[in-house]
Amino acid sequence: MEPGTDAEQRQLGSIFIVSDSIGETAELVARAAASQFDSGRFDVRRFPFVNDAPSVTAIIEQAAAGRSAIVYTLVQPQLRSLVSDAARKLGIPAVDIMGPVIEAIAQVSEVPPRLEPGLSRRLDEEYFRRVEAVEFAVKHDDGKQSRGLLAADCVLLGVSRVSKTPVSMYLAHRRIKAANLPLVPELEPPPELTAIPAFRLVGLTAEPQYILEIRRQRLKVIGLKPGADYAELDRITRELDYADSVFRSLGCKVIDVTRMAVEETASRILELLRQGEGSR
């Protein structure tokens, strides 16, 4: 075996990672610092979800039994003080990653910190749930992949130009996995709809003249003549009648979006979802 491999490196000591959350931040910093020492390796031990004095004391006693350093991210001031005082008495090097940063930000913001463990992890989880919801909305926009409807938190139904896509995307940014499905008289709705709880199905409708104006504007934007069947009042009325029949058969709630902002429509849908979950 060649000199310098991990197997031949001598043990330099232990790094105790102590955190009231999962400890990823402290471990990342510790490993980055340890990488500067190429003459040996460190035993990195992580102690997550530490939130009481007895646990802190037990960890410090372990650290005192060998050649160790402590790197900690604790938001509670009393626990930070306990680690600092005990480590100093026992001669254990200890580095507070979180405390000084919290104090510095508090001075700048002039707002007291919440001092709740695990907030950064919860923020990360919310971010990834939002990304997942946006990806879901894109994948299930305008009737794509109907087999995935069963995984939706909400399915929006309606004729063309009733804001199904923008409302779906708005809901996605509220971490709601929303699919949307166009209703056309010539096409049968996918059978998956009947397996979805009625409170998760929301019909969107609007006044015929309102839809007509939007469709004519849409045709103008894409360079088509306004006389297309798509932008004829009789056609729109027939589509709306068909959509109403689908709404009734599914037993879903219906929202009239005529001149309604996307945010207002989404707010009403969120309330319907909350009511539906509460009544289950």
Predicted local confidence at residue 209, as pLDDT: 97
Rounded mean pLDDT, 67-85: 94
State pLDDT tens for residues 125-176.
Answer: 777 888 899 999 999 999 998 889 999 999 999 999 999 999 999 999 999 9
Predicted local confidence at residue 120, as pLDDT: 67
Separation CA 221–CA 187 (nearest Å) = 26
Predicted local confidence at residue 221, as pLDDT: 87
Residue 29 pLDDT > 50: yes
Rounded mean pLDDT, 69-98: 94
Of 86, 26, 69, 21, nearest in space to 48 by CA: 21
| pLDDT > 70 fraction of the chain, expressed in percent and rounded | 93
- In this chain, the answer to whether the domains covering 6-117 and 121-278 adopt an identical fold is yes
Residue 211 pLDDT > 80: yes
State pLDDT tens for residues 189-205.
Answer: 999 999 999 999 999 99
Q: Which residues, other chains included, contact 187 with Cβ-Cβ below 8 Å and sequence gap of 6+?
A: none
Residue 8 pLDDT > 60: no
b/e 158-180 (16+ beta carbons within 10 angstroms → b): bbbbbbbbebbbbbbeebbbbbb
Predicted local confidence at residue 39, as pLDDT: 60
Residue 52 pLDDT > 70: yes
CATH architecture of 6-117: 3-Layer(aba) Sandwich (3.40)
Predicted local confidence at residue 116, as pLDDT: 80
Predicted local confidence at residue 121, as pLDDT: 66
Residue 4 pLDDT > 50: no
CATH architecture of 121-278: 3-Layer(aba) Sandwich (3.40)
Rounded mean pLDDT, 32-43: 82
Mean pLDDT of the chain: 90
Separation CA 181–CA 183 (nearest Å) = 6
Predicted local confidence at residue 53, as pLDDT: 95
- The answer to whether the CB of 60 falls within 8 A of the CB of 86 is yes
- The residue extents of the domains of the chain are 6-117, 121-278
pLDDT band at 7 (very low <50, low <70, confident <90, very high): very low
DSSP 13-72: EEEEEEESS--HHHHHHHHHHHTT-TTEEEEEEEE-S--SHHHHHHHHHHHHTSSEEEEE
State pLDDT tens for residues 90-131.
Answer: 999 999 998 899 889 988 987 888 888 777 666 667 778 888
Higher pLDDT, 233 or 103: 233
